[in-house]
Amino acid sequence: MKNTIFLLLLLIISCSKSDPVVEDPLAKLPPETQAGSNTFGCIINNQVFYPRDGTSSLFNPGGKGLKFYGDPSDPSGNGNYGELVIRNLQDAKPANSMIIHLQGLDQIKTGNYIWHDSNFQSSVDGLMQNYVYAKIYDSSVNGWQYYGSYENSGKVTITKYANDNTIISGNFSGKLRLLNGTEEV
Edge-to-edge strand order for the sheet containing 177-178? 66-71, 81-87, 95-103, 131-138, 143-148, 177-178
Residues 156 and 172: beta-carbon distance below 8 Å = yes
For 92-130, how does the pLDDT look when each residue is reduced to its tens digit (9 = 90+)?
A: 889 999 999 999 988 889 999 999 999 999 988 889 999
Average pLDDT, the chain: 84
Residue type, 58: L
Q: What pLDDT, on a 0 to 100 scale, did the predictor assign at position 75? A: 63
pLDDT digits (tens, 9 = 90+) for 138-164: 988 999 999 999 999 999 999 998 877
Provide the whole-model pTM.
Answer: 0.81
pLDDT value at position 10? Answer: 43
pLDDT at 7 over 50: no
Of the listed ranges 7-11, 54-58, 94-98, the least confidently predicted one is 7-11
Peptide bond preceding 94 in cis form (omega within 30 of 0):
yes
pLDDT score for 78: 61
Alpha-carbon distance of 152 to 118, in angstroms, equals 11
Residue 110 confidence (pLDDT):
94
